[in-house]
């Protein structure tokens, strides 16, 4: 990996792994107490509304602000760039507060407009939970605004530490609350987010981040950030509508469909957090810096390197999940209210989601290139097409495969979105991927298809019983798969060391 990205990315990845371990521990606790019952289905739907709004507002804001911070620092200096950032932040917070007030006063009317498949008896619970969870929109706003300040200065550790502290506090609240109902989960999220904000605020000065007095609402950069946010907001609206549509469709299926998709998505998000979002956070700053310095060729080199190196990791992960997801889910979740049926529903959905891991990487990296060149128009068009593809394929597939069909529709839409983003981007910057990178990716796909067939022939050699037996078999199987994969890569003449130690993105070893 390029030196410009390698150090911060490795550090961020380490902290992200720790954070995901803690977060996953919380998911296990939640699964133990609540399983995949109908009340947890309602909670997931209530939680999704503030998550949707957070994604709509915070994602575009992050995509617009970090390039603006870097460019305004060059143009106007550190102090003025902070005044610009404060101005944008204040406007954003005011908008979020107004949005929360509007939602709490009209939530019952708004929620009735959505085609939920729940019985009317659960609608009251949905409204009550939504009125509490909507306040996470404000806490998420604070977290993102502070996180941007740290990330713009190449400080990725502090936001991770604050998130860890918040997660521990959230878990502690679940344990100590005697009621342990859906409101327990609501308040645990709010308290954890507030602690996250407090820790980030506490260490601002230690990170050499000083917010000067005063605002500058009329600076051209302030207007530019707001103008750039609008198309990004439209794009995010279309993109975040996809999972909501999936959950609405799942609410018309059997009990546990929504929560199974939710658990599967959380399992998949572990790898997304560790592998995709870590590189996303570091490339946001580095891509913007390279564009500001007019180093387009270096940016293309970095993109090729990322696509090549991550293929060697993400393809095998997907193969292992496809085959061993039932055993992994059983080991992690099957206890308490989480029964064998919950395991079956969750593991099959996770296997489907894992196929789209690399698509998520591609979409994220390409979106960061768009953010760096400050172009959001094409993202809006692609997001609209992706939404149409997701809705149509999900409705079609769920008729044959139930909740797994919804997951499959999401994967198909993700692949279509990545393809379109790349095609549209070539009109702006030319072809990003070199011919050698494309050849390498084809070899990586063929190699892992061989691994998929090989594991299919050996995975039923043993039938482990008990948690210890599951752990031992999964460990042995992973080691065997790793050795076989290295051998297969060698057969396909893939030079792993060259790719990970600085070879041109996608290069493969040439043999006489």
Q: Is the pLDDT of residue 430 over 60?
A: yes
Average pLDDT for 255-270: 80
Average pLDDT for 422-437: 82
Specify the higher pLDDT residue, 418 or 153.
Answer: 418
Residue 235 belongs to domain spanning:
35-252
SS3 32: helix
Q: Report pLDDT digits (tens) over 326-335.
A: 888 888 877 7
Specify the higher pLDDT residue, 174 or 240.
Answer: 174
Q: Which of 187-191, 228-232, 370-374, 456-460 has the lowest mean pLDDT?
A: 228-232
pLDDT score of 493: 79
**Could you tell me if residue 4 is inside a domain?**
no
pLDDT score of 508: 36
Q: Encode 461-479 in three state secondary structure.
A: CCCCCHHHHHHHHHHHHHH
Q: Report pLDDT digits (tens) over 373-408.
A: 766 677 778 877 888 888 888 888 888 888 888 888
Closest CA to 450 of 486, 396, 500: 486
Count how many Cα atoms sit within 13 Å of the Cα of residue 424 in the half-sphere of its side chain. Answer: 21
**Could you tell me if residue 306 is inside a domain?**
no
Q: Is the pLDDT of residue 116 over 80?
A: no
Q: Report pLDDT digits (tens) over 291-337.
A: 767 777 887 888 888 888 888 888 999 988 888 888 888 888 777 77
pLDDT score of 45: 77
Contacts of 99 (CB under 8 A, 6+ apart): 53, 137
Closest CA to 404 of 257, 218, 270, 286: 257
Mean pLDDT over all residues of the chain? 77
- For the chain, what is the domain count? 1
pLDDT score of 198: 92
Backbone φ, ψ for residue 215 (5° rounding): -130, 170
Average pLDDT for 341-348: 86
pLDDT score of 504: 45
Q: Is the pLDDT of residue 257 over 60?
A: yes
Which residue in the block uniquely carries the two structure tokens 């529903």? 345
Average pLDDT for 16-36: 74
pLDDT class of 197 with cuts at 50, 70, 90: very high
Average pLDDT for 476-484: 84
Average pLDDT for 235-263: 70
Contacts of 16 (CB under 8 A, 6+ apart): 160, 273, 274, 277, 278
**Could you tell me if residue 417 is inside a domain?**
no
**Could you tell me if residue 310 is inside a domain?**
no
Which residue in the block uniquely carries the two structure tokens 């990970």? 500
């Amino acid at each position: 990996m390029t030196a410009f990205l390698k150090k911060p990315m490795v550090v961020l990845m380490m902290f992200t792994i720790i954070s995901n371990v803690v977060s996953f521990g919380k998911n296990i606790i939640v699964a133990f107490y609540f399983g995949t019952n109908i009340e947890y289905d309602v909670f997931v739907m209530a939680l999704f509304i503030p998550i949707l709004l957070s994604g709509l507002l915070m994602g575009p804001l992050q995509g617009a602000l970090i390039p603006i911070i870097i460019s305004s620092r060059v143009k106007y200096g550190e102090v003025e760039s902070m005044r610009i950032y404060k101005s944008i932040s204040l406007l954003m917070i005011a908008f979020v507060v107004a949005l929360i007030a509007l939602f709490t006063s009209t939530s019952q009317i708004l929620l009735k407009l959505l085609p939920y498949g729940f019985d009317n008896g659960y609608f009251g619970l949905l409204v009550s939970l939504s009125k509490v969870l909507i306040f996470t929109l404000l806490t998420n706003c604070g977290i993102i605004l502070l996180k941007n300040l740290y990330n713009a200065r190449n400080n990725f550790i502090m936001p991770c530490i604050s998130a860890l502290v918040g997660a521990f506090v959230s878990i502690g609240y679940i344990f100590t609350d005697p009621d342990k109902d859906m409101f327990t989960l609501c308040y645990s999220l709010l308290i954890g987010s507030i602690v996250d904000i407090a820790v980030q605020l506490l260490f601002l000065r230690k990170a050499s981040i000083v917010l000067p007095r005063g605002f500058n609402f009329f600076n051209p950069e302030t207007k530019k950030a707001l103008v750039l946010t609008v198309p990004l907001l439209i794009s995010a609206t279309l993109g975040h509508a996809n999972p909501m549509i999936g959950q609405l469709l799942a609410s018309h299926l059997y009990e546990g469909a929504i929560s199974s998709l939710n658990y599967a998505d959380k399992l998949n998000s572990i790898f997304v957090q560790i592998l995709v979002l870590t590189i996303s956070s570091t490339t946001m700053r580095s891509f913007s810096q390279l564009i500001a310095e007019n180093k387009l060729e270096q940016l293309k080199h970095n993109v090729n390197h990322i696509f090549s190196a991550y293929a060697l990791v993400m393809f095998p992960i997907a193969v292992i999940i496809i085959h061993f997801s039932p055993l992994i889910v059983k080991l992690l979740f099957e206890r308490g209210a989480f029964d064998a049926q919950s395991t079956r529903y969750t593991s099959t959905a996770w296997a489907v989601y894992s196929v789209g891991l690399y698509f998520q990487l591609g979409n994220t990296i390409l979106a960061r290139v768009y953010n760096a060149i400050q172009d959001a128009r094409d993202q809006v068009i692609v997001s609209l097409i992706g939404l149409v593809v997701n809705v149509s394929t999900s409705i079609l597939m769920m008729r044959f495969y139930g909740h797994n069909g919804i997951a499959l529709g999401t994967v198909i839409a993700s692949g279509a979105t990545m393809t379109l983003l790349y095609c549209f981007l070539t009109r702006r910057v030319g072809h990003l991927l070199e011919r050698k990178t494309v050849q390498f990716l084809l070899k990586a796909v063929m190699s892992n298809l061989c691994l998929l067939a090989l594991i299919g022939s050996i995975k039923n050699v043993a039938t482990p019983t008990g948690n210890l037996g599951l752990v031992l078999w999964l460990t042995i199987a992973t080691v065997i798969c790793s050795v076989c994969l290295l051998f297969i890569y060698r057969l396909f003449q893939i030079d792993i060391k060259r790719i990970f130690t600085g070879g041109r993105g996608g290069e493969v070893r040439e043999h006489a």
